């Protein structure tokens, strides 16, 4: 199904791009080729194929979940302008 000139102009307007009339014919041909490739992909029977999470079946190596720093909350809150019950107090910004 070839893409017509007016369809290219509509798509260009929606995408907010400028397409010269000289480029429109070549662009229409290229878009028609791309849509043809998509139709070929959709025609493939994938009924018995299990979906993959990653094409290379890669496994992420995870680090051990260990605490690596000490608790310095009291030191940080000692220099804060306003703290109450372990929470930082900030000025109200929404009325």
Residue 61 in any domain: the answer is no
How many residues belong to the chain? Answer: 95
**Domain carrying residue 16:** 5-42
Residue 71 in any domain: the answer is no
CATH number of the domain enclosing 14? 1.10.20
Residue 90 in any domain: the answer is no
DSSP-derived 3-state class of residue 24: helix
Predicted confidence (pLDDT) per residue in 36-88, tens digit: 999 999 999 999 988 887 777 777 788 899 999 999 999 999 999 999 999 99
Residue 22 in any domain: the answer is yes
Q: Return d(Cα 51, Cα 90) in angstroms, integer.
A: 49
Residue 66 in any domain: the answer is no
21-25, 33-37, 91-95: which has the highest mean pLDDT?
Answer: 33-37
First to last CA, the chain: 57
Residue 25 in any domain: the answer is yes
Q: Is the pLDDT of residue 1 over 90?
A: no
Model-wide pTM > 0.85: no
Residue 58 in any domain: the answer is no
Residue 38 in any domain: the answer is yes
Going by the DSSP 8-state scheme, the letter that residue 58 receives in this structure is -
Going by the DSSP 8-state scheme, the letter that residue 87 receives in this structure is E
Q: How many domains does the chain have?
A: 1
């Amino acid at each position: 199904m070839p893409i017509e000139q007016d369809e290219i102009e509509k798509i260009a307007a929606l995408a907010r791009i400028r397409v010269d009339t000289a480029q429109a014919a070549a662009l229409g041909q290229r878009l028609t080729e791309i849509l043809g490739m998509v139709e070929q992909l959709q025609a493939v029977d994938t009924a018995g194929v299990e979906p993959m999470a990653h094409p290379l079946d890669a496994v992420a190596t995870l680090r051990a979940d260990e605490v690596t720093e000490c608790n310095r909350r009291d030191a940080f809150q000692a220099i804060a302008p306003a703290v109450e019950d372990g929470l930082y107090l900030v000025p109200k910004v929404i009325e």
